[in-house]
Structure formats: C-alpha cells, structure tokens
Amino acid sequence: MTMTEYEAVIGLETHIQLNTQTKIFCSCKADSWNDAPNSNICPVCCGLPGVLPVLNKAAVEKGVLLATAMHGQIRPLSFFDRKNYFYPDLPKGYQISQFDQSLSSGGYLDLPVPASASPDGQAYVRRVSITKLHLEEDAGKTKNAGGQRFVDFNRCGVPLVEMVTGPDLRTADEAAQYLTRLRQLLRWLGISEADMERGNLRCDANVSIRRKGETHLNPKTEIKNVNSIENVRAAIEHEIERQIREVEAGNRIFAWTLEWDEDAAVLRKMRSKETEADYRYFREPDLLPIRLDDAWKTAILAGFPELPLERRARFIREYGLPEYDAEILTAERKLSDYFEAAVRAYGGDPKRVSNWLMNDILRMLNDRGLTADQIKLAPAWLAELLKLIDSGTINISTGKSLLQKVEESGLSPAALVEKEGLAKVSDDTAIRAVAQEVLAENPKEVEAFKGGKDTLMGWFVGQVMRKMRGKADPNIARQMLEELLK
Amino acid sequence: MELSDLSAHELALYLRQRRISAVEILESCLKRIEAVDGRPGRLDGGPLTVEDEQKVHSFITLTPERARAQAEAVDRKIAAGEDPGPLAGVPFTVKDIFCVEGTPSTAASRILANFTAPYTATPVARMEAAGAVMLGKVNLDEFTYGSSNESSAFQPSPRNPWKLDRVPGGSSGGSTASVAAGEAPLSIGTDTAGSIRQPAAFCGVVGMKPTYGRVSRYGLIAFASSLDCPGPVARNVTDAALMMNTIAGADPHDSTAANVPVPDYLAALEQGIKGLRIGLSPDYFRITYPNLQNGTFETQPLPAEIEASVRRAADLLAAMGAEIVEGVPMPNTRFGIPAYFVISRVEAASNLHRFDGVKYGYRTPEPMNDLRAMYRQSRGQGFGAQPKLRILMGMYVSAAQYSEQYYNRALRVRTLIRQDFDRAFDPQGPYRLNALLTPTTPTTAFKMAALYGDSVLMQYADQLTVPANHAGVPGVSLPAGLDGEGLPIGIQLLGPDYREDVLLRIGRAYEEATETDPWRRVRPQALL
C-alpha cells in the first residue's frame, strides 16, 4: 500500500466571531482585543445571580447574511438552547447556544480548488456541505500562572456563529482553500474581521482516512488550537500521514483530540474521546424564539451583495479578464467595487484598468495601509488619468507619477496637468531644438551611432526626455533624432 | 391601631395629606419588628429556644439605616412640595431571592450567604422609584425550593403569625409572615408553583401571581425560569392593585417581560362584577397524589371547611351579580405536580450550575488541587438538601437517554394543562369564564416539622396552584375566613392572560361582601 491508495476525509468546525458593537446578550463592548482582563464585563455576561440575557439583533442579522451566502435555509422560527457543562470560563455553567432548531439548516459552498492546490495539477470545484450553522455566545478564557488559575470574562457573551462542514474535504489543501474562501466571504459581507491570529475565526479539523473507493467513515481525530490557515493545512497534512502510517503498521485509529504545537510543528494528544459528553440541551427559557418574519428578513437582505466567487466569474466573463486578474481584483470587496467603478467611468479596455490597479493602485494601498474606498484617487480620477494618456495629453510615465500627486494633493489628474504644466510637448520645433542640442553636446555618441551602434537611439530619446522633464512626446523626439542623424 | 397595621393605600394617602411622615411609618414598622420578629435567621442558627418559638422570624437581613435614609428622602420631597411617588413612605419587605444593590442577597442558602448584589432587581427598583421604603430581606425556602419555609439555611425559619407552631407556608413565607404580622404592609415574593399564593393562604393575606411575563424577572435568582413570577403580597386587594401598578410592565432587561399595556389596576377595582362569569371546577375540589407503596394514584376530597369557603364565596359573588358556572372540567389538573417535578428540576439544576465557588458565593475553605474536587466540595458543602435533590432529579430527567420520556413528555403535559385554561376562558367556547374560583390549598397551615423531609407530600401542597404556573395565567389568593383551629383559609381566582385587573376586581367585591364577617376582626396570635 502507498499513500496514493488512501484518501483523507476532512470536516471543519469553525467559530466565527461576529463584529457587532456589543455582545450578544448585554451591552458590553464586544471586541476586547488588547484590553485588560475583565474590563468589558457586566453582571449579565458574568452570569451573576438573577441576570437575564437580552438578544442583540445585530448578531441575528449578521448570522442571516452568512447563512444566505452559504445557501442555507433560514428558519422563520428558531430557538436558543442551553448547553450545560462546568468550566471556570463559563460563568453560568451553561452556554446559550442553538441546538435542533437553529438559525439556518443546510447549505454549501462550491469551492474552487486552483491547479496549484490540486494533486494532479488540474483546477476543480469541490462542493462542501454545511451541516450546522447556529448562533451562540463565546466563553471566557483561563490561564495558569504562578501556580494559580486566572479567569478573564471579557470574551464571555461575544457573539459567535458556529458553522460545521460535512466530511467533504479530501486534502489539506482543500481545507486551507475553504478557510481562505470563508475568510474572504466573512470580510466581504462585513460580518467578521475573520482574523485567525486574533481568534475571530477559529477552526477545529476532524480528520480520518479510508482506502480510495470506500464510502464509510472511519474513526476520526479532532485537531484543535490551530491559529492560522497555513497551520491548519500543515496540521492536517501531518495527521493524514500519521494515520496512514498507523494503518499501514496494522494499528487502529482512536478518536483522540489533538493539539497543534506550532513551534515544533507536531500534533500532541490532548485527550481520548471515548464517550460523547451529555450537554443536556433544553430550550433557553430566558429568551424568546427568534422570529424572522418576511419584513425583517427583507430588510436584512436588502443590500445583499454579489458574492466574491460570483463576481470573480463575472469579471472573467464580462470584462474578459484573465483568471489571475479576476482573483486578485475580487480578493476584497472594496477593491472589486473600485475596479468596476473605474471601468465604467473609463469606458475603455477593462484589462488596462486591471493592470493599473494590480501594478500601481494595489502598491499604493499596501504602502499606505488603506482600503480602496479610502484613497483620494477615486475610480473616476483613475479613469480620467487613463483617458489623458489615451488622448496623448500626457505620457505613461507622467501618468504614473500623477498617481502619487493626485493622492497627495487631492486634486484631479486634469487639474494637476493644468496646474503643473505636465501636458506632453508635441511641438516639433521645440523638440527639434532640444534634439539638436543633445546631438551637439554628445559628439562621441553621435559618432558611435553612425558607426552602427543603433541601440544608442533609445539613449538619445532619453536625453531629450530628460531635458524636457518628461513632457516630450517620445515618438516625435525619435522622429526628429532619426531625421537629424541621417 | 398603630401605623404598622394600616394598609399601604391608607398610609400613602395620609402621608400625602401630611398627617403622618414617612419616618413615623418606618419607626412604627421597626417597632413592630422589634416586638414580634425575634432573632433573624442566620447560618448555623443554633437550637430553638422557647422564646424563638413565640416569634415570627421573617427576616434574614433588616436594613434600618437604608430604610431611614429612604424615608427621610420621602419626607424631604413632601416638604419641598415634590411628588414623592405613588407608594411614597410605604414600607415593604423583599423576599431574599431578589438582588438588591449593596445588600446580602442570599437565596436563603449557604452558598450565597456572603454574596452582596452589585445591582437591583427591576421590581424592587420600581418599588423604590415609586417612593416605597425597603425594610430588608425576608426568609424563604432555600432557593425557593419548598412550601413551608423550613428548608432555609438561615434559621430560625419563619413561623405562622396566626399560630406560631405552624409553618407560614412557602416559599414566600417570610413575605407573607411579615405582612400578616404587620411588620410591613407590602412584600414582594415569587411564585413558581404557588410560592406566593400558598403562603398567602396560610397567613391570611392577599398574594398574587401575575401572568408570566407581566412582572420582570430581572434580578430574581432563578428557580425555574419558565415558571417564576414575581408578585405582590398585601393585606388587602387594593394594596395588591396599588403594588401591581408599580411593578408590572415591560423591561429592557428581561425579554420575556411582555410588552403588553398595563392598565390602572386601581381604576377598575370598584366597578363591580355584574355579568362576570365565574367558574367552579370539580377538579379543584380534590387532590390526587401517588401512593408510593404501589405506584397508583389516590384521590382525596378537600377538607369540608375549605370547600365550604369556596362555595360561600361563589354564593356571595352570585348575589353581587356574577354568573356562577358549575362543573368546568379541568381534567389535567392532577398532572400538574408530576409535570412540575420534571420541568422545574431540569431548569433548576441548570440555573444552579453557576454556583460553582469560582466567582462568588461559598467556596470550600479546604485547599483543592483539582478543579472538579473544588466544584464538588464547594457545592456539596454550600447547597442544602433541597437544591441537591433538585439537581439530582433535574440532571437525571434531562439526560440524553431519559429526556424524551420525562422532560419532553412533561412539556407535552404542560401544553395539555394550558389547553384546560384555554377552553375554560375561550370567549367563544362552552364556558366563557372571566375567572375560575378554587381553593388555594388542600389544607390550612400544617405544623412545623410535620411534612418537612417528605418532599413528595410537601409538593402536593401546591397541587391547586401549580397549574397556573404551567399555563402562565394569573392567579390571586384571598383570605376567606378561619378554620376550626383559627387558621386562615385561602380561596383562589385564576384568570386569562393579562387579566389581573378582573381578578382584583372580583377580589375587591368579595372583600366588600365579607367586610362585616367576624373573622375579619380576629388578630393573629403573634399580635396578641
């Protein structure tokens, strides 16, 4: 037996922190990143005696957006339930979650797997089913230090969506692709910061293997505490290899819970999972059911956007962009909006807009740490700039330097060209005079050129351009030089 | 007659007329407490003395300084010509299951004995905002788990002011005892299966369980969240109405508090009952309980005196123009207690999870290396027998392998009980009742220690009250005379959702009809 005779069966359980202003059941600030322990807490999220939860509707609305994007069936009536267990970071001794009648049922993501992530080098699409999508509150955090155990309740009551896939993924690369697409989608919808390093997107991976062609599920292990997409990929890869080694050696796979040690790049066994815990779920009597009537649902979905994969396909179809361009331009929603607005304002070749975006605008955004909607160089001005080049008013190098100037001054490209006299000089006599000057100043080069060193023509053009501070039309300069050197 | 014996609405009136001051009212109540209450309940309260047996012991925590500051504030407002609020200067006690900022909020349990609440429960906050003066926190069964008040970890537990060797009932026994003994004209209690109405009946006072959701539960340390209702305890119907005006209504802190307009309960009080349809049900004139030897159910008629009180009330109400409808079937009444046993315990066990010794409350003093051991020791030492029993049963019947046959089945029974009420109150149905008139309890107050320890029999004290909790409908218990031993008898009115106004109106009519009854002038033993 070799590795190629096995396939992996992978399911991902994700916890998505919704980026609401306040927590799901009280008015404490939801995001506590970098805040001192226990500084965003109140009697409600600390589970003091007598307190009651009050649902933050924004959490429901963000959940509905995600469920819709995943093609889930939104339930018009869903319920909260108590998941009972003891842990010091769970102040009520139960987590308010959803069980059998959650916000949404079913759903899927059609995951494009690029050639680079494909075992046989051929791109393909994997349909990943969603088996669970529900709202719940986060628990707090505990840590051990100096022989004591500390609890931080800041995270208690932060709104989460738990979303679980079916056992549909087959490679570590697919798992990484799924998380990349999920992260893109969450940011696209504006419902989560989706930063794995900050824990607002968390992932546990369930991994088992089987011989190719088999359809049953073998015992699986669960990998926890992985805090980046690359580490999820690496951890799953290690685990697949381990399971194959075990099976090849005639051993059984046990349902362990494993922890990824990032520094050592190894999996460690956290615990055996012999029996399923009994959480004694029952309906949360302190909350009313969520009634998503048509009016509310319509209001939530009123501005529902075209999703990234759809937009990517449309950019290829409608604008004739290469897949590579479409991928980069739809990586982020505001960038793709920028692209379309610029294309519309420009009216010319969309690929030209794409080139400028991918080469220049993206660099500017990265350098300045801005998103596409935050720069002064609005799509209409990029279009104007391109039109100035097309009409021959400015040359390309002027155009490139204009990008920075527009961004810094807040003036339109046309206004800057006017103000700084950047328009290309197309006056033959002015260029002829400068060309004569250049030739007169460089007799050695003239001689070399006449002696057959044709490549010097470019250098002469460059000299003319330099003297005219880039404003000369390089085609006319070349014409003049050729005439004078005949 | 002393100020402490006056009703809340009289006190509020005299205060506004500047005939008395809030501080004078307070002093009168404190004097009464001093005279009749004896030592407050406390942990490891020691053996009962002969003197203890002559006292009421309503309180766990008396807060006279806080009360004096509030009373003085009321007097200042009146002096300044400001509106001091509808309950200005009226003293009240609070069942110690409500959180009140800065006061111990113990739930009568060792596990919360050292817990001082950092916030105030909505109903208490509304009372104080209306100018009422809180005297302190009164005793109850531990976490409200009981019908006699004896399970409190804070001993001595309250005694019935009418006969001091009797229980006051429970779990709001401290509330009803304090009101019956004239320590305060009002108290706020909670009712999960009858915990306001049953002790109100035992202590000869008015106790109302409002519609579920009518009064906010925010700040009420939960027993069974889907059944718990805060409500008023008073010496007469008008005072209960006055208090309902203050505590009822939606609350942004409780999403189960209904967003239903609250009527002025006083306005309709004297409108009479002409044309109201009041039902009597044979299912409320008997109790059914399990024979633990052979597992069968046995049925017993109620004591004749109790049934007679209800029938007499029906006659009096009929004479005032109500239409009495006999023979209303309420067939699922007898399943109320078994269903309650399951539902309340599942919710209770879950609600008690938070008391783990980690954040607040009791933690075992012994050093523990293991987290689980710390939980076990803290909870084992902190909880009394009643919480432990409820946790055991609640965990059992909600376990994955049993929840279908117990918990989910109990929920279906609950729906059936609700349907009994729906049919009786349906305006298009065969009965079209405005209210159902029943006894409140199957017995009058029993002797201390007579039932304690038999949690099954104890629970059957609630058989006639618990259906209203299952169904969510409002109910009120009214004093209706004394039995042969001089113990109060209570009658109960049950009504459709949010029709507390109708129940209070009928209650007021009954008060008028019995105004001259000799028993109305009998004073409780504690006041003799």
Q: Both A406 and A442 in a single domain?
A: no
State residue B297's pLDDT score: 83
| Record: contact B353-A53, CB cut-off 8 A | no
User: Does A290 map to a domain?
Assistant: yes
Q: Which of A238, A263, A296 is the last residue of a domain?
A: A296
State residue A274's pLDDT score: 58
State residue A1's pLDDT score: 46
pLDDT at B381 over 60: yes
User: Does A225 map to a domain?
Assistant: yes
| Record: contact A94-B353, CB cut-off 8 A | yes
Of A89, A279, A280, which to mutate for an interface test with B (greatest number of B Cβ within 10 Å)? A280
State residue B296's pLDDT score: 86
CATH code for the domain in which residue A441 is found:
1.10.10.410
**Lowest-confidence range among A356-365, B169-178, B291-300, B377-386?**
B291-300
Q: Both A159 and A236 in a single domain?
A: yes
What is the arithmetic mean of pLDDT over B249-265?
97
pLDDT, tens only, B480-499: 999 999 999 999 999 999 99
Q: Does residue A303 or residue B49 have the better pLDDT?
A: B49
* B188 three-state secondary structure: strand
Q: What angle do CA A361, A367, A373 make, to 5 degrees?
A: 50
Write a three-state SS string for chain A: CCHHHEEEEEEEEEEEECCCCECCCCCCECCCCCCCCCCCCCCCCCCCCCCCCCCCHHHHHHHHHHHHHCCCEECCEECCEEEECCCCCCCCCEEEECCCCCCEECCEEEEEECHHHCCCCCCEEEEEEEEEEEEEECCCEEEEECCEEEEECCCCCCEEEEEEECCCECCHHHHHHHHHHHHHHHHHHCCCCCCCCCCCEEEEEEEEEEECCCCCCCCCEEEEEECCHHHHHHHHHHHHHHHHHHHHCCCCCCCEEEEEECCCCEEEEEEECCCCCCCCCEECCCCCCEECCHHHHHHHHCCCCCCHHHHHHHHHHHHCCCHHHHHHHCCCHHHHHHHHHHHHHHCCCHHHHHHHHHHHHHHHHHHHCCCCCCCCCCHHHHHHHHHHHHCCCCCHHHHHHHHHHHHHHCCCHHHHHHHHCCCCECCHHHHHHHHHHHHHHCHHHHHHHHCCCCCHHHHHHHHHHHHCCCCECHHHHHHHHHHHHC
| Record: contact A43-B115, CB cut-off 8 A | no
What is the spatial distance between Cα A438 and Cα A431, in angstroms, rounded to a whole number? Answer: 10
| Record: contact B217-A52, CB cut-off 8 A | yes
Of A27, A44, A51, A55, which to mutate for an interface test with B (greatest number of B Cβ within 10 Å)? A51
Q: Are B386 and B142 in contact (CB under 8 A)?
A: yes
Q: Both A340 and A416 in a single domain?
A: yes
Q: Is B447 a catalytic residue?
A: no
What is the arithmetic mean of pLDDT over B506-512?
98
Q: Both A278 and A408 in a single domain?
A: no
Instruction: Give this complex's ipTM.
Output: 0.95
Q: Are A327 and A309 in contact (CB under 8 A)?
A: no
pLDDT, tens only, B367-376: 888 899 999 9
CA–CA distance from B19 to each of B1, B10, B24, B30, B314 (Å)?
A: 15, 11, 10, 19, 39
Q: Which of A395, A420, A445 is the last residue of a domain?
A: A420
State residue B459's pLDDT score: 75
Helix (H) or strand (E) holding B189: strand B186-191
Q: Are B13 and B43 in contact (CB under 8 A)?
A: no
Q: Is B163 a catalytic residue?
A: no
Q: Both A395 and A322 in a single domain?
A: yes
pLDDT at A363 over 60: yes
Catalytic residue among B21, B105, B171, B281: B171
State residue A482's pLDDT score: 86
Q: Both A125 and A176 in a single domain?
A: yes
What is the arithmetic mean of pLDDT over A101-109?
98
Report the residue of chain B nearest A148, measured CA to CA.
B369
State residue A277's pLDDT score: 83
Q: Both A153 and A233 in a single domain?
A: yes
User: Does A58 map to a domain?
Assistant: yes
Q: Both A46 and A91 in a single domain?
A: yes
- Closest to B231 measured CA to CA, from B204, B251, B256, B213: B213
Catalytic residue among B105, B178, B195, B309: B195
What is the spatial distance between Cα A202 and Cα A231, in angstroms, rounded to a whole number? Answer: 12
| Record: contact A50-B375, CB cut-off 8 A | no
Q: How confident is the model at residue A2 (pLDDT cuts 50, 70, 90)?
A: low
User: Does A301 map to a domain?
Assistant: no
pLDDT, tens only, A411-429: 999 898 888 877 776 667 7
Q: Does residue B49 or residue B288 have the better pLDDT?
A: B49
Total structural domains in chain A? 3
For the range A445-449, what are the long-range contacts, defined as Cβ-Cβ under 8 Å and sequence gap of 24 or more? A446/A485, A449/A485
What is the arithmetic mean of pLDDT over B7-25?
97
| Record: contact A84-B407, CB cut-off 8 A | no
Q: Both A230 and A339 in a single domain?
A: no
State residue B455's pLDDT score: 67
pLDDT at B123 over 70: yes
User: Does A302 map to a domain?
Assistant: no
- Which residues from B are below 8 Å from A54, CB to CB? 252-255
Q: Which residues of B touch A (CB under 8 A)?
A: 98-99, 105, 107, 112, 115, 117-119, 121, 217-222, 224-226, 252-256, 346-347, 349-350, 352-356, 358-360, 371, 375, 395, 398-400, 403, 407
Instruction: Give CA torsion, residues B366, B372, B377, B383, to 10 deg.
Output: 140
Q: How confident is the model at residue A485 (pLDDT cuts 50, 70, 90)?
A: confident
What is the arithmetic mean of pLDDT over B444-451?
92
- Closest to A225 measured CA to CA, from A181, A180, A271, A183: A271
- Which residues from A are below 8 Å from B252, CB to CB? 54
Q: Both A328 and A452 in a single domain?
A: no
Q: Which of A389, A420, A451 is the last residue of a domain?
A: A420
Q: Both A264 and A338 in a single domain?
A: no
User: Does A461 map to a domain?
Assistant: yes
Q: What is the largest CA-CA distance in chain A?
A: 98
Report the residue of chain B nearest A150, measured CA to CA.
B358
Q: Does residue A193 or residue A263 have the better pLDDT?
A: A193
Q: Both A246 and A273 in a single domain?
A: yes
Q: Is B148 a catalytic residue?
A: no
Query: Rg (Cα) of chain A, in Å, rounded?
Result: 30
User: Does A231 map to a domain?
Assistant: yes
Range of the domain at A148: 3-296
State residue A466's pLDDT score: 86
Burial of A143 per CB tally in 10 Å (0-12, 13-18, 19+): exposed
Residue B298 forms beta bridges with which residues? B289
State residue B189's pLDDT score: 98
State residue A422's pLDDT score: 74
User: Does A370 map to a domain?
Assistant: yes
